[in-house]
């Protein structure tokens, strides 16, 4: 068994694809419209789905935003250098909501960025 993807609902698919590809450096792996269901699925990630876990962006055509609720926490992405990645994301127009630095009660360096729909993404350095 392996984890295939995480699905999140997005209000503006083009805006979300731009964020995940241009700002976070992922690739648009595939995209398909489902007219009978009035939704579109787009899959983004850092590598091919056969070898990597990816994110499924689900856009329901009649919904332009979602309430995130209080059960969802965040997605996590490993980066080589958290400080550098956070600066690059900020320079590209991404919203940093927690600046890079040691985590509370620990030494692991983390940062958080928010995607256009409000989902939080944690940036983590490689395990030491």
d(CA 95, CA 101): 16
**122 tagged catalytic:** yes
- The CA–CA distances, whole Å, from 21 to 9, 70, 105 equal 17, 27, 33
- Residues whose CB is less than 8 angstroms from the CB of residue 65 and which lie 6 or more positions away in sequence, other chains included: 11, 117
Active-site pick, 87, 95, 120, 122: 122
Strand (E) or helix (H) holding 87: helix 82-91
Of 44, 62, 61, residue with least CA distance to 52: 44
Of 78, 69, 70, 56, residue with least CA distance to 6: 56
Positions marked catalytic: 122
């Amino acid at each position: 068994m392996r984890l295939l993807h995480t699905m999140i609902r997005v209000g503006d698919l083009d805006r979300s694809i731009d964020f995940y590809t241009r700002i976070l450096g992922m690739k648009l792996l595939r995209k398909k419209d489902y007219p009978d269901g009035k939704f579109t699925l787009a899959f983004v990630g850092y590598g091919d789905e056969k070898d990597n876990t990816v994110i499924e962006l689900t856009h329901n055509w009649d919904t332009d935003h979602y309430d995130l609720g209080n059960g969802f926490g965040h997605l996590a992405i490993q980066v080589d250098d958290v400080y550098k990645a956070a600066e690059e994301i900020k320079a590209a127009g991404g919203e940093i909501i927690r600046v890079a630095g040691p985590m509370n009660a620990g030494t692991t360096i983390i940062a958080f960025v928010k995607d256009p729909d409000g989902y939080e993404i944690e940036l983590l350095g490689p395990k030491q």
